[in-house]
Structure 1
């Protein structure tokens, strides 16, 4: 069923303006009523943000310390590997030098033995 009364454009516009004004008045009243708690909520938000930032800074500091510790351990392990490699090279060189020295001594001993046999043979012939 249609509205019984005939709303003219001006009536509708004024009703809309009145409704808008009523909404604005209600909004302002609610805003003024919430004003005391607004400051408290804002302070709470700020403290939460500060706490969150402090936790983030602590996490970053711990990550940095852990990264530094791991880098130090890696550097120590690398130094140990290099030292072990140098010690192995030195041991191989020492063993090689000892083997060469033994070979030269054995060769000198064989030559001395050969010379002794030669001298003994010449002594028997003479």
Structure 2
């Protein structure tokens, strides 16, 4: 009888030690992205070719760059884990009037940075 009880206790101890451990948060030294410049190209010849541009960088990798005029999201660029560059979307003749421009950059670790550009009339 003692032998069966010992095996049961040993099996229970093994089962308890092999249970899934709680998830440990991922620790990363990844800094938030840096947005150095936000602007809209001045193309008075044809508004259809007007671009909203942002220079963005990150020490590890970018996931996406989002572009806003006022509260309206006018585009998003998949940064494909690049560490930086100039990203742009065509805003053209969208009829947003005079509103504040904004860019949100998200890196591969989920860190986000927002930067406002100037108020533009398009």
So what's the TM-score if we normalise by structure 2? Answer: 0.27
- Structure whose CA Rg is larger: 1
Bigger proportion of residues as strand: 2
- Relative contact order (C-alpha < 8 Å, sep 6+): which is higher? 2
So what's the TM-score if we normalise by structure 1? Answer: 0.26
Bigger proportion of residues as helix: 1
